[in-house]
Amino acid sequence: MSQSLIHYGIVVSNSLDKKAFTHHLLSKKSTGALRVFNELDGVLFSDLAIAELIEKEHKHHTIEITTPKNRPLHTFSSGERRKLFLEYCLSKNPDYIIFDNPFDHLDQASRMALYNQLLKLSHSISILQLVHHERDLMPFIKKTSFVSGTCLVVSESDTKTQPQTTQLKPVLPSALVTFTNTYNVLVKFYKVSVNYGEQSIVKNISWEIKHGEFWQLIGPNGSGKSTLLALITGDNPKAFGQDITIFDRKKGSGESVWDIKKNIGYFSTHLTELFERNHTVGQMVLSGFFDSVGLYVKPSAMQQQKALQWLDVIEMRHLKDAYFNRLSLGQQRLVLIIRAVIKQPPLLILDEPFEGLDPENTALVSQLINGLVEYSEIAIIYVSHTIENSLAPSHIYELMPTNDGSIGRIKPEE
Ligand SMILES: Nc1ncnc2c1ncn2[C@@H]1O[C@H](COP(=O)(O)OP(=O)(O)OP(=O)(O)O)[C@@H](O)[C@H]1O
């Protein structure tokens, strides 16, 4: 590379259309301070870029990225995918890499490892880091800009007007159908183990979730958190033949995946990564009644009424006809969480609800979760690598890797 290295940090909020912003940069159309990158060839390291690659592998039945045992990328855990994807980015020999919130989805040890890897990389490649908090910028970044609102132009100073912290409505709408308390056992695992070939993933997991409990599920990258969740939601065939009871039914007793799904509200950051349809906010919320992402059947008048009441909770009724894809990431997150709870299921799964959020939206999402904990009887499983101080789970289930697969325990109170 002939150019000298340029390291640049950009502090963005969730109102920025990051897809448009990074596309603009990579297609060498930048103006102002970022013009220097128009001379260079870059690649993007982000959740979206990973999701697009997985989609490509899925569509064309190809393996785009070199992985152990040539497994498709989607079979790796979120943390493992990030590590493999970084190697893939480097193999393209770019002049610079845009790192969009590079530490998301990583456990403490993997964050440290990536931190050291970025320090090392900064001697050989230009790095443009996008962050939500200025404090997350790598130490070698000496030039920082801010992008305020939806504007694609960076400025030298933080011109963002002081955000007004919205107070969400503490009172939740009543349920159309009452599920809660209708089951004796919500989720019960007894000595559950999962292997892939020779590799043991989790071993002898015994775990019970009761009505209204608020659980945090923790464990390092690859320890089996998503595997356990998929056993609950019916998305992992390895559940058969195991001692698992979900909503009073023993696994393998003839239940359909839809019988299970109707009792579960589900949120994951992967839910709408590649969602490109022009659905409105109202339609997206209503789709929670039908366990689909996006609305494909006609909802009843009562269901429409309920959707409006839930939109009131997050102060977004006025946006009911706006296109979901046009919302900021934080607004989308709130919409997807009320989509997950609109049917007031006995169990809500929130898989990394804070990843990628700026401080304002982190505060809003935690207000909403705390409201659900306090004013509903929904049991919640929340997965996160970090402890969110504004939340107080009543129990923590911890997966601890061993050479023979992860074992689990209820984390004792400190
Ligand atoms: N189809 C598969 N074949 C082989 N191994 C698999 C398959 N699916 C998952 N695994 C492995 O199982 C392990 C557990 O993955 P899982 O996604 O449950 O971890 P996780 O705790 O959710 O991790 P993360 O925090 O990184 O998301 C990983 O090492 C993953 O590579």
Q: How confident is the model at residue 150 (pLDDT cuts 50, 70, 90)?
A: very low
Nearest of 155, 138, 142 to residue 12 by alpha carbon: 155
Scanning 27-100, the segments in alpha helix (DSSP H) are 47-60, 78-91
Structural domain spans, the chain = 7-147, 187-410
Nearest of 304, 301, 285 to residue 293 by alpha carbon: 285
Tell me what the mean pLDDT of segment 252-271 comes to: 86
How far is residue 75 CA from its own chain's centroid? 17
Ligand 1 pocket residue status of 383, Cβ below 6 Å: no
Ligand 1 atom closest to residue 80's alpha carbon, by position in its atom list: 26
- Percentage, residues of the chain above pLDDT 70: 92
Tell me what the mean pLDDT of segment 357-368 comes to: 86
Q: How confident is the model at residue 2 (pLDDT cuts 50, 70, 90)?
A: very low
7-147 and 187-410 share one fold: yes
Burial of 162 (0-12, 13-18, 19+ CB in 10 A): exposed
Starting at the earlier edge strand, list the strands of the sheet with 379-383: 264-268, 347-351, 379-383, 214-218, 395-400, 407-410
Q: Is the pLDDT of residue 11 over 90?
A: no
Contact 393, 214 (CB under 8 A): yes
Q: How far is the CA of 228 from the centre of ligand 1 (A)?
A: 10
What's the mean pLDDT when you consider all of the chain?
Answer: 87
| Fold for the domain defined by 7-147 | Rossmann fold (3.40.50)
pLDDT for the residue numbered 301:
92
Q: How confident is the model at residue 161 (pLDDT cuts 50, 70, 90)?
A: very low
Distance CA 63, CA 46 (A): 19
Q: What does the radius of gyration of the chain's CA atoms come to, in whole angstroms?
A: 22
Tell me what the mean pLDDT of segment 135-160 comes to: 69
Question: Cβ neighbours of residue 106 under 8 Å, at least 6 residues apart?
Answer: 79, 82, 114, 221, 385
pLDDT for the residue numbered 327:
86
How far is residue 83 CA from its own chain's centroid? 17
Q: How far is the CA of 238 from the centre of ligand 1 (A)?
A: 13
43-53 pLDDT, tens digit per residue, is 999 998 999 99
Instruction: Tell me how far CA of residue 254 lies from CA of 183, 244, 250, 258, 328, in angstroms.
Output: 17, 13, 9, 12, 42
**Locus of tokens 């909403």:** 368
Ligand 1 pocket residue status of 408, Cβ below 6 Å: no
Q: pTM for this structure?
A: 0.87
**Locus of tokens 């990579």:** 26
Tell me what the mean pLDDT of segment 275-295 comes to: 88
Instruction: Tell me how far CA of residue 316 lies from CA of 134, 257, 332, in angstroms.
Output: 29, 32, 11
Distance CA 67, CA 63 (A): 9
Mutation to probe ligand 1, out of 201, 232, 404 (largest number of atoms < 8 A from CB): 201
Ligand 1 atom closest to residue 385's alpha carbon, by position in its atom list: 25
Instruction: Tell me how far CA of residue 91 lies from CA of 6, 66, 99, 202, 235, in angstroms.
Output: 20, 10, 15, 33, 33
Among the CATH numbers 3.40.50.300, 1.10.287.1080, 3.10.580.10, 3.30.420.40, which is that of 187-410? 3.40.50.300
Ligand 1 pocket residue status of 14, Cβ below 6 Å: no
**Both structure tokens of 326:** 């046009």
Residue 192 Rama label (left phi>0; alpha psi -120 to 50; beta): beta
Ligand 1 pocket residue status of 405, Cβ below 6 Å: no
